[in-house]
Amino acid sequence: MIEALAELLPMAFVLALSPLPIMAVILALMAPAGLRGGMALALGRLISLLVAVALAGVAAEYLAELSGSGVWGAVLQLLLGAGLVIAAFVSWSRRPRDGSACLPAWLASMTQATPARAFGLGLLVTATNPKDLAIAIGAGLTIGATIDDIPGAFGAATVFALLATLTAIAPLVAFVMLGDRAGDVLSAARDWLTANLKLVVSVILLLIGVLLISDGLAFFGDGI
């Protein structure tokens, strides 16, 4: 399990930097529901990551049984990684040229979200995000290839999901600890993320793609 966690840490770190969940939590905190909405969204994010990693881990076990090795899992990592590297350059090429930036409609709607809606969007922010799904699948494939027992695999998946959700939890901590000052801090963070969203997304896509390609190549390198 220690070996698997060592491989998962870079993936969890990069996924934690994903700007959309952070922005969504910030906007949920600024909605009338406040802390309840932010907590609901972070919980939805955590659950969706855990489910995605678990399903990928099961798929990795199945693919290993079919092929007698983890070769299909490694091939999938390479394909996902290559796709994300391409997506990074596409995202960068489509960034606003005039310095203007606007939020996706679903994200802007978070300012009026109820806790129930925030929870649902927390689930969807991962389930409908190819970037997050790719890294979660990569983590699940790593767990499935390195851990044989179910409790150990579940434990590794839980640790990964928690680490990847830490930055979405950070605004909640700031909201509680800063009290009346939280509004100004969250507004500043929202404005910065809005202005730099395309840049951050492009960098994260590139980092995740490189990580997945590296893991896929490492499998074939070990087999040589």
25-53 per-position pLDDT tens digit = 988 888 888 899 999 999 999 999 999 88
Q: How far apart are the first and last CA of the chain?
A: 24
- Is the pLDDT at 213 greater than 90, yes or no? no
At 36 the pLDDT is: 92
pLDDT at 42: 92
Q: Which of 126, 20, 138 has its CA nearest to residue 83? A: 138
**Which two three-digit tokens encode residue 144?**
């499935």
CA nearest 62: which of 141, 155, 174? 141
What is the value of pTM for the model shown? 0.77
Among 26-35, 65-74, 131-140, 168-177, the least confident range:
65-74
